[in-house]
Amino acid sequence: MKVFFAVAFLLVSAAPVVSSAADHAKLPKEFWVEIKPGKAHEECVELKKDAEITYRFKASQPVPFNIHFHTGKGKEAKVEYGVKLDAIDAKEDVFRPSIDEHYCWMWTNKTTQSVTLSGEIKTK
């Protein structure tokens, strides 16, 4: 029993830390967050295929950004990307989901300083 709890603790401790707005939140969403070095922030929402979602954001320095969803479970789990950019500090665009799914907008701070991020996600 002690081994189980030790393994469970290690698995939870090793998981990446991501700050996130409440899952399954409704649109529109406005956000302002500080992303600590080595951490990430996600804004997630359930979307229907072919919805037109406008989004805009501004970060205090360039950060990796993506819009993604997860498929499969266990060894079959994969992350599918609708948008994936290596380093960007601002963007305004329209996203059209290819399938009904739980999508997440994600920003990752790979710098040594905190990054301030603000933006909005809404239906067009």
User: pLDDT by residue (tens digit) across 16-54?
Assistant: 444 444 344 578 999 999 999 999 999 999 999 989 999
User: pLDDT by residue (tens digit) across 80-96?
Assistant: 999 999 999 999 999 99
Q: According to the model, what pLDDT value does residue 27 have?
A: 83
Q: Are 95 and 53 in contact (CB under 8 A)?
A: yes
Q: What is the pTM of this model?
A: 0.79
Measured distance CA(90)–CA(76) in Å, rounded: 33
Is 8's pLDDT higher than 90? no
Cα-Cα-Cα-Cα torsion 60, 65, 69, 70, nearest 10 degrees, comes to: -100
E-only strand ranges, the chain? 18-20, 29-35, 40-47, 53-71, 78-95, 101-108, 115-123
